[in-house]
Amino acid sequence: MEIIDREKSIEEINTMSPLTWAYIGDSVYECYIRMYLVNNTNNKPHKLHVEAIKYVKAQAQAEILKKIESELTEKELEIAKRGRNAENHHLPKNASVQDYNYSTGFEALIGYLYLTKQDERLKEVLKKCIL
C-alpha cells in the first residue's frame, strides 16, 4: 500500500478544481525545497526555514512560472493558466494579487504533474525552480 494514494483517474483529476491541484502542489513544492536545502546545506532548522521562504513565497513562485513558461507544453500552460485564473476568495497577505495568482498557477502545475504521476516531468520542472 502506498503511503500517499495517487490512484485517481486522469478524468477525475481533470475535473478537480485548479485550487485543489494548487493545494497539493504547494505541499509537493515545499517538500522538494526543504529536501533540497537539507541535502545541500548544513543549516540548522531555523536557517533552513528562512532559506525555504525565499523559494516558496508567492513572489518567488510567480517569477519561476514566468521564467519557465516558454519551456512548458501546451497542456502544462493550460493547467498553469487555469490555476492562475481560478476564482480564489483569499486575499494575499504578503504579495501582490498578480504574484499570488501566478503562484497559484505554478502550484496548480506542480500538483497536476504530481497527481497524474508525471514524475519525470515533475522532476524536470522542479529542477528549474532552484534559482
Q: Do the beta carbons of residue 77 and residue 105 sit within 8 Å?
A: no
Identify the three-state secondary structure at position 115: helix
Q: How far apart are CA 34 and CA 51, in angstroms?
A: 9
| Residues with Cβ within 8 Å of residue 71, at least 6 apart in sequence | 128
119 flagged as catalytic: no
Q: How far apart are CA 54 and CA 71, in angstroms?
A: 23
Residues labelled as active-site residues: 26
